[in-house]
Amino acid sequence: MSIVTARPELIALLEDSRGAARMLATASTAHKNAGLAAIADAIEANIPAIVAENAKDLENGRANNIGDGLLDRLLLDEKRLQSIAGAVRQIISLTDPVGQVVRGNDMPNGIHLVQVRVPFGVVGAIYEARPNVTVDIAAIALKSGNATVLRGGSAAENSNRILVALIQDALASVGLPRLTVQTIDPFGRAGATELMTARGYVDVLIPRGSQSLIDSVVLESKVPVIETGAGVVHLVIDDSAPLEWAVEIAHNSKVQRPSVCNALETILVMRPAAARVLPAVCERLTQAGVIIHGDVSTREIWPAAIPATNEDWSTEHMSLELSIKVVDSLDEALDHIRTYGTHHTDSIITNDVSHAERFLAEVDSAVVMVNASTRFTDGGEFGFGAEVGISTQKLHARGPMGLPELTSTKWLVRGSGQIRQ
């Protein structure tokens, strides 16, 4: 085992997590589900206390001008907490991945081989201004047999503190290790750096937050990282797109919750559809308060648009702003996505089967859609109960990560005295 700055108190915390992980690896599904039920009950029973602590974080966030997007992600109100508790309960109903057989066979000499899913062990997470992630990761990790070490950041310090305490009490109440879920927030930013170098103590690390945070973790971590990514999300509207679909999908993708990573950032409209589609799309977006950045062709149709810059095409606004470009062909749209996309989510509105199939085949993103809002890229919407994050990498996990994505595998070999010849 290795760690760059071996503060005894941090080493002790990580060793406690490894001990909890060993116990969880053999915990029954019923026992883990009891822990999840206790967590959901604890959240619902303590909504006023959680909201009060969250209010302190919101006040600090406003004082520090963190921006409307992060304030929205930071907010925990009664509705959101009820939804978080409901997501935990949904995880109870999902199949436990631990022990699932991936594949197997009998060798000619009689040895029986089987590959099964097993927990990673200790899962670390570094995130910012997302207290819901504290519960989401803890719950998914618990069901998949993993202990968690969380670094939630100073912006959500009060919210995360009470949530972790409630989770720990809930686990202890059903006889699961209290230290299944731990936070290193008291160690500050230095703790995050130490977590990134805790190879041998932490089995996998998941960053969630700004592109700069994710890049920092990916580049500096000595622990294996599952990379989540920023969402420069595209919607292509081709010349066969039904007007109502174009208006409603564009509006929902951008406006329903603009601060999240699956919110729309760029609309690409094929030129034959521009005059027919753009006035209604822009009118609906403008009525919702969206600031539109447009290229020259867009501004000819919608003069109120702000001139778009090259920087706009690669910007994740996390607010009520987006960019619109008129393209001459599907090839140009695909080239634009290849140039500026972040491999997160991209969608096309079309009644042309050949365009739909080309888009699905050629767009290299974690989630590729036809005639659907980009807001559906979400673990809860996909039926996972919650999500650890949305992976934009290609190794191990891609897209919304649920229970199976927090497992590895091992081979079980059963013989009867065979030796290799």
Tell me the percentage of the chain whose pLDDT exceeds 70.
99
> How confident is the model over 138-163, as a mean pLDDT?
96
DSSP letter for 343, please.
Answer: S
Rounded CA separation 277/152 (Å): 43
Give me the amino acid identity at 345.
Answer: T
> How confident is the model over 106-115, as a mean pLDDT?
96
CA distances from 88 to 74, 169, 260, 298 (A): 19, 16, 20, 44
- pLDDT at residue number 396: 78
Render pLDDT for 378-406 as a digit per residue (tens, 0 to 9).
988 998 877 888 888 887 788 988 899 99
> How confident is the model over 188-211, as a mean pLDDT?
91
Which pTM value belongs to this model? 0.86
Q: How many CA atoms lie within 13 A of 266 on its CB side?
A: 30
Rounded CA separation 162/181 (Å): 13
The pLDDT mean for the chain works out to 94
3-state class (DSSP) for residue 213: helix
Query: Domains along the chain?
Result: 8-228+389-414 (3.40.605.10), 233-376 (3.40.309.10)
CA distances from 57 to 152, 161, 184, 273 (A): 12, 11, 18, 46
On the 0-12 / 13-18 / 19+ scale of CB atoms within 10 A, 33 is buried
Tell me the percentage of the chain whose pLDDT exceeds 90.
83
- pLDDT at residue number 116: 97
DSSP letter for 290, please.
Answer: P
pLDDT bin (cut points 50, 70, 90) of residue 3 is low
Residue entry with tokens 């929205």: 72
Computed on alpha carbons and rounded to an integer, the radius of gyration of the chain in Å comes to 23
- Helix extents (H) in 256-329: 271-287, 296-301
Strands of 202-318, DSSP E: 204-208, 233-237, 264-270, 291-294, 306-307
What values do phi and psi take at 116, rounded to 5?
A: -125, 155
**Do 266 and 235 meet the contact criterion of CB atoms below 8 Å apart?**
yes
Residue 4 has pLDDT above 60, yes or no: no
Burial 85-117 (b: 16+ CB within 10 A, else e): bebbbbbbebebbbeeeeeeeeeeeeeeeeebb
Render pLDDT for 315-340 as a digit per residue (tens, 0 to 9).
999 899 999 999 999 999 999 999 99
Could you tell me how many residues make up the chain? 421
Render pLDDT for 292-321 as a digit per residue (tens, 0 to 9).
999 999 999 999 999 999 999 999 998 999
pLDDT bin (cut points 50, 70, 90) of residue 170 is very high
Q: Chain-centre distance of CA 340, in angstroms?
A: 20
- pLDDT at residue number 5: 55
- pLDDT at residue number 179: 96
Least confident residue range of 19-33, 227-241, 324-338: 227-241
Q: Which helix (H) or strand (E) holds 74?
A: helix 68-74
Q: Which helix (H) or strand (E) holds 218?
A: helix 211-220
Q: Which two tokens stand for residue 247?
A: 């208006």
Q: Which two tokens stand for residue 412?
A: 């079980």
Residue 155 has pLDDT above 70, yes or no: yes
Give me the amino acid identity at 6.
Answer: A
pLDDT bin (cut points 50, 70, 90) of residue 148 is very high
Cα angle at 259 between 306 and 140, to 5 degrees? 155
Q: Which two tokens stand for residue 250?
A: 């564009």
Give me the amino acid identity at 33.
Answer: N
Cα angle at 333 between 332 and 338, to 5 degrees? 95
Which residues does 263 contact at the CB level (< 8 Å), separation at least 6? 231, 233, 253, 254, 256, 257, 318, 374, 375
- pLDDT at residue number 6: 56
